């Protein structure tokens, strides 16, 4: 087998973000572009020769072609074994599961998560380390540094590998294993949740559920577990076949992009329970009949009901949330006498806490929840957790959440997204707020007095690493908050996310629409930032 050394030159902009490198497909299709990045990943690693690399993705356009390139480069670089999901498919949480179960050296995940797919849409790639989690900043910075000085890459001159037949073959000195993408993940879920109890929900025949896989990677997982193992009626899972363009859908499980599911759930004869996951399977949206569960509330409810799931009934060591996520889970943690950690956005920041056994369950407001079973957020895991709670309590989704609010109070919370903003304008908005931070302390906006105004800096309690500029926080003395942050998950322009939160202990005031309850703070957010005025936007693109 011939190994080719291919001369190349660096590309600008190959710095991995919170979730790896994301660009338009047309960018990745440039000669040498993918190869440069993959070689930069390999060049940043040590002692991987003869070790195992897990490879898979969400099935979006360019997934198969990218995997063939990665196979040939991994062989040329000396990996001893490649584990690849059949058809090139592996959900992000399943990849983490497999890395951990088989003690692989690491993994390459091919996905742009909840971004659209297709020839003119988005693609992404990220490296996960041996604990199954996303590469920490020291690794991603090393990858970027290598990408800026790369002079050549190595690749095996060999035919493409059959990705659609489970089995093994040898390429040079590397074993190629095409594996069932679902089996290991399903086995792990069966150990965490009471499948016999959940199965009874469907056996009784009155409980109706709808799961929208959004033509993305969780379709095969949901069909196998929900309709196969748990015996939910056929058709419970819709849009179950992964497609390269997600069937034209935007695979982001929120009220805007999963509108068909939302309309069904809010119809008079809608199902009792509804859920959706995103492109790579790490996000979730939870719905009851005519009831939407805010992701921050979902995290808090899961933590508050931990004993209902067998995998967690011995207790939690602690919990963690991203800084913009509402403080609802903080109240649960205080009530249970456990630690609650506040981290920057990005699942990689939970990794140290999980590895050090400081936290068991983690969550982000961006529809991501997970636990120490893997080192990624896990959409289907959250759905199964909710099913376990419903089965154990014999309560509806709305009853579960309202009982939670009655006990802990309600954190009214909303996120307003301004997408595709000119990057220069977006960064100036953030810079202007950061520059005047000190002068804002003690200032009143209506009845709200500013207690803290800063750009969040995180000091990791495990390794003491420091992450700066993680979002502008405006904390008021009554506990209300406004947070401004630039998202790193898009491929065009910048997304400005504004998070608004207010605590309401009075049960009589728990049935307001969040936009109504937060109306004064929403106006204050514009007064502080000037996002609408400076971008020319009349309203957010997405409100959740």
CA dist., res. 407 & res. 332, Å (int): 9
CA dist., res. 544 & res. 416, Å (int): 7
Enter the tokens of residue 153.
Answer: 């890459």
130 is a catalytic site residue: no
Which of 113, 147, 298, 322 is labelled catalytic? Answer: 113
CA dist., res. 110 & res. 123, Å (int): 7
Sign of CA dihedral 200, 204, 208, 211: positive
Among 51, 26, 46, 27, CA closest to 37 = 27
Phi, psi for residue 86 in degrees, rounded to 5: -55, 135
**Pure H helices in 44-160:** 63-77, 92-101, 137-147
Edge-to-edge strands of the sheet including 494-504?
444-445, 448-455, 472-476, 481-487, 494-504, 410-421, 542-543
400, 308 in Cβ contact below 8 A?
no
Helix axis angle, 195-204 to 379-393, nearest 10°: 70
What is the phi-psi region of residue 234: left when phi exceeds 0, alpha when psi lies from -120 to 50, beta otherwise? beta
Cβ neighbours for 175, distance < 8 A, ≥ 6 positions apart: 80, 81, 82, 168, 169
**Pure H helices in 409-468:** 423-435, 437-440
CA dist., res. 72 & res. 347, Å (int): 29
Q: Using alpha carbons, list the distances in angstroms from residue 367 to 114, 316, 388, 541.
A: 11, 21, 19, 17
Q: Using alpha carbons, list the distances in angstroms from residue 55 to 70, 111, 177, 299, 363.
A: 8, 11, 10, 29, 25
What is the residue-wise DSSP string for 49-72? TT-EEEEEE---TTHHHHHHHHHH
- For the annotated catalytic residues, the residue numbers are 113
């Amino acid at each position: 087998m011939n190994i080719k050394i291919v001369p190349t030159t660096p590309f600008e902009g190959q710095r991995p973000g919170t979730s790896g490198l994301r660009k338009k497909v047309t960018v990745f299709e440039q000669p040498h572009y993918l190869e440069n990045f993959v070689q930069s990943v390999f060049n940043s690693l040590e002692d991987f020769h003869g070790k195992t690399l897990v490879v898979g993705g969400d099935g979006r356009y360019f997934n198969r072609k990218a995997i063939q390139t990665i196979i040939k480069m991994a062989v040329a670089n000396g990996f001893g074994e490649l584990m690849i999901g059949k058809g090139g498919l592996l959900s992000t949480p399943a990849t983490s599961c497999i890395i951990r179960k088989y003690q692989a050296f690491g993994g390459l995940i091919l996905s742009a998560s909840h971004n659209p797919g297709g020839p003119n849409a988005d693609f992404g790639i990220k490296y996960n380390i041996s604990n199954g989690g996303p590469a920490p900043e020291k690794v991603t910075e090393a990858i970027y540094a290598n990408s800026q000085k790369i002079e050549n890459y190595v690749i095996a001159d060999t035919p493409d590998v059959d990705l659609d037949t489970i089995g093994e073959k040898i390429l040079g000195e590397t074993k190629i294993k095409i594996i069932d993408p679902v089996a290991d993940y399903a086995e792990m879920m069966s150990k965490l949740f009471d499948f016999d109890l959940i199965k009874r929900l469907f056996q009784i025949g009155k409980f109706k559920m709808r799961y929208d896989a959004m033509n993305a990677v969780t379709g095969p997982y949901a069909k196998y577990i929900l309709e196969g193992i748990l015996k939910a009626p056929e058709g419970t899972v819709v849009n179950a076949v992964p497609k390269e363009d997600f069937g034209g859908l935007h695979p982001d499980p929120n009220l805007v992009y999963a509108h068909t599911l939302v309309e069904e759930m809010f119809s008079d004869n809608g199902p009792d329970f509804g859920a959706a996951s995103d492109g790579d399977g790490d996000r979730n949206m939870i719905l009851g009949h005519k009831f939407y569960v805010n992701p921050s509330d979902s995290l808090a409810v899961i933590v508050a009901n931990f004993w209902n799931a067998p995998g967690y009934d011995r207790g939690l060591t602690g919990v963690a949330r991203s800084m913009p996520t509402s403080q609802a889970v903080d109240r649960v943690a205080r009530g249970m006498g456990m630690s609650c950690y506040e981290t920057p956005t990005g699942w990689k920041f939970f990794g140290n806490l999980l590895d050090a056994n400081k936290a068991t369950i983690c969550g982000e407001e961006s529809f991501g929840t997970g636990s120490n079973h893997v080192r990624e957020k896990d959409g289907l895991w959250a759905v199964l957790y909710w099913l376990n709670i419903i089965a154990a309590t014999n309560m509806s989704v709305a009853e579960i959440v309202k009982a939670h609010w009655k006990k802990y109070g309600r954190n009214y919370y909303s996120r307003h997204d301004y997408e595709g903003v000119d990057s220069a304008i977006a960064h100036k908005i953030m810079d202007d707020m950061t520059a005047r931070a000190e002068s804002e302390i003690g200032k009143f906006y209506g009845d709200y007095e500013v207690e803290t105004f800063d750009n969040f800096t995180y000091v990791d309690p495990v390794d003491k690493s420091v992450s700066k500029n993680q979002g502008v926080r405006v904390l008021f003395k009554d506990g209300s908050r406004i947070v401004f942050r630039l998202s790193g998950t898009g491929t065009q322009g910048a997304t400005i996310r504004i998070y608004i939160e207010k605590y309401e202990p009075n049960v009589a005031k728990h049935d307001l629409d969040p936009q109504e309850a937060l109306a004064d703070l929403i106006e204050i957010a514009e007064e502080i930032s000037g996002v609408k005025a400076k971008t020319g936007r009349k309203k957010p693109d997405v409100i959740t």
